[in-house]
A and B are shown apart, each in its own frame.
Chain A
């Protein structure tokens, strides 16, 4: 108890030094929390963008479809099946799709395209397709019309309210031919999607491909993307071996790779940051050791065991560093929340690059509470590791030399 009191008093003996240490830890926590939450936020945003492009977080297909994406690999759409899927926790929506390649023609031109039959409302709830509309109107259920991506419309020289013709191969080699007015034009960030997609309502597409009530996939929206894999596992085990359940990470390994590479380079930045933090803390510790060398020598001389003295120093360090950490966490919460609500927005050239790819050029922070705890804890551990240095000095302390002026 008296040791704690002494430690507390020692913290206030040199207010400037204590303040510097607390400030060093404080700003360290803020800085590392901010970089981390920004990093996580950017990736979350990227994933959200990528996923809402097209793929959804999870897709369910008939087993073997991903390897061979043909209409023969379809499964029957049933409310029983979709209910079975949507009953799982964390699943917000299940949207049915039928997808296949076909040729699309205007009067004079023919191009290859991906025809996607969707349930307009369900699709919109997951991929926000309606937001990509730049002209015309969105589809309604059973609407005998089409939505055309902007690039494809240009390539075919078609515009809103024109009529297009689809020619392709349906189920089991049946002819697939249809004629649809263009009800809306969609703009996708991804050039791939923008140049070759065409949307029909589900029943219309099924009729075109002669696959009554059959689907190529269910696209699944998630409440909390952090639980992607556990949710996929649960769905997988409830569906059995006739279906394949794929996460976006499995469907788009290149995006995962990209995030990994970026994270690796950010680790270097963080390393430099932690090093700066470390030097700041070491500096104040050295200052303190010089200032208190005589006194420590005297305490050992009159009979304080070195272990006790180490305890004293450790309590002082823990109190100081802990105070800095807690204050740092408290201060970073509003900053992070603010930058989440009002994200950093890029302008100019860089913004254009982002918009090319269909991303908004914004960098929101992630408000995941884990980040605050993780960074606070990291700085705490770092600081405590550094405060082992004075303990080492104490272990080697010789009272006679320490008290020499």
Chain B
């Protein structure tokens, strides 16, 4: 197994000068290639902050975060942006897509930033839209897509750059339950079939059920970290997977 994330002693305090909030408190975290991990915990427990630290969007006050063996806390701002581009996929809670670009162009964008060749982009983008089951919606603008469809396109975009892992902060929070399950199905499928590493935060019990590892945060600390067998029950409108 290949180590993807190796975080040691990570702490983050907001407002250190006024009313300090210890949002992430001395967290150790080890993530292997191919994991499908849920980060759970009550609101304000530090899920978003931790994901931002792991994704290199924010810097910890203490500790080291090694991604693929590289300590991202030591990178310069520009190098960090470049690192994110090449190694980390992001899915945010909502408004992931650029409204003036079509679904396809949104996914292409990330590969264009990587200076990939047109043929490579075309092929990969088409494959990704097949994976998310939206070949017919490639040339649609985000405003014409449902919330669930937008999140699926966001997953495709996150994968387009061939990242080491995908971070998703409450990706289903704004979705109805059907779209939420559907999104999780797609993520789980990508995880199983393509060995894509996912780490996502959530409140949603049905989403937690799909995870193979559940890390619970309380007050910025890891309260529990358990492996589990995902319940992968078939549901409406979908055939059971073998």
Which residues of chain A have a CB within 8 Å of any CB of chain B? 2, 6, 9-10, 12-13, 294-295, 298-306, 308, 399-400, 403
Chain B's nearest CB lies how many Å from the CB of A405? 9
**B109 contacts partner chain A, Cβ-Cβ < 8 Å:** yes
Known: A301-B90, A304-B85, A305-B78. 14 other contacts (CB 8 A): A2-B109, A9-B101, A13-B99, A295-B95, A295-B99, A301-B92, A302-B110, A302-B157, A303-B84, A303-B161, A305-B82, A306-B78, A400-B52, A403-B92
Per-position contact with A for B69-83: 1 when CB-CB < 8 Å, else 0?
A: 000000000100110
The docked-state distance in angstroms from the alpha carbon of A294 to that of B92 is 12
Q: Chain B: residues with CB nearer than 8 A to chain A?
A: 52, 55, 57-58, 78, 81-82, 84-86, 90, 92, 95-96, 98-101, 108-110, 112-113, 157-158, 161
Residues in A with CB closer than 8 Å to B158 are 302
Q: By the criterion CB–CB under 8 Å, are B96 and A400 in contact?
A: no
Contact of B113 among A12, A13, A303 (CB under 8 A): A303
CA distance A13 to B158 in the complex (A): 24
Q: Which residue from A10, A294, A303, A305 sits with its C-beta under 8 Å from B100? A: A10
Assess whether A12 is in contact with B100, with CB atoms less than 8 Å apart.
Answer: yes
A303 to B99, CA, bound (A): 18
The answer, among B58, B84, B95, for a CB contact under 8 Å with A302, is B84
Residues of chain A contacted by B113 (CB below 8 angstroms)? 303-304, 308
A-B contact pairs, 8 of them (CB 8 A): A2-B108, A2-B109, A6-B100, A10-B100, A301-B55, A302-B110, A303-B113, A400-B58
Which of A10, A298, A399 is B95 in contact with, Cβ under 8 Å? Answer: A298
Contact present for A2 and B81 (CB under 8 Å): no
State the main secondary structure of chain A at its contact with B.
helix
Q: Chain A contacts of B82 at CB under 8 A?
A: 303, 305
- From B52, B57, B157, residue with most partner A Cβ within 10 Å: B57
Which residue of the partner chain, among A303, A306, A403, contacts B86 with CB atoms under 8 Å? A303
Residue in contact with B81 in the complex, picked from A6, A9, A10, A305, CB distance below 8 Å: A305
Cα–Cα distance between A9 and B141 once the two chains are bound (Å): 12
- Chain A residues, Cβ within 8 Å of B81: 300, 303-306
Residues of B within 8 A of A308 (CB): 113
5 nearest A-B pairs in the assembled complex, by CB-CB distance:
A303-B85, A9-B100, A13-B100, A303-B84, A2-B112
Question: In the complex, what distance in Å separates the CA atom of A300 from the CA atom of B58?
Answer: 12
Tell whether A301 pairs with B99 under 8 Å between CB atoms, given A2-B112, A308-B113, A400-B52. no
User: In the complex the two chains form, what is the Cα distance from A122 to B81 in whole Å?
Assistant: 78
Query: Measured between alpha carbons, how far is A295 from B106 in the docked complex, in Å?
Result: 12
Q: Which residue in chain A gives the minimum CB-CB distance to B98?
A: A295
- A303 nearest in chain B by CB position: B85
A181 and B52 CA atoms in complex are apart in Å by 104
Q: Are A6 and B101 in contact (CB under 8 A)?
A: yes
Chain A residues whose C-beta falls within 8 Å of the C-beta of B58 in the assembled complex:
400
Q: Which residues of A contact B95 (CB under 8 A)?
A: 294-295, 298
Instruction: Report A-chain residues with C-beta under 8 Å of the C-beta of B84.
Output: 301-303
Judge whether B57 and A399 touch: CB under 8 Å: yes
Docked complex Cα distance between A298 and B157 (Å) = 13
Which residues of chain B are within 8 angstroms of A306 by Cβ–Cβ distance? Answer: 78, 81
Measured in the bound complex, the distance between the Cα atoms of B86 and A205 in whole Å is 95
The answer to whether A302 touches B85 (Cβ under 8 A) is yes
Alpha-carbon separation in the docked complex, A294 to B97 (Å): 11
Once bound together, how far apart are the Cα atoms of A306 and B57, in whole Å? 14
Determine the residue in chain B with the shortest Cβ distance to A12.
Answer: B100
Q: Taking CB as reference atom, which chain B residue is nearest A1?
A: B112
- A403 to B158 alpha-carbon distance, docked (Å): 17
Residue of A nearest to B108 (CB): A2
Give CA–CA (A196, B59) in the complex, Å: 89
Q: How far is the CA of A171 from the CA of B187 in the complex (A)?
A: 112
Most buried by A among B52, B109, B157: B109
Please measure, in the bound complex, the distance between the C-alpha atom of A304 and the C-alpha atom of B92, giving whole angstroms: 16
Q: How far is the CA of A9 from the CA of B110 in the complex (A)?
A: 17
In the bound complex, how far is the Cα of B83 from the Cα of A300, in angstroms? 11
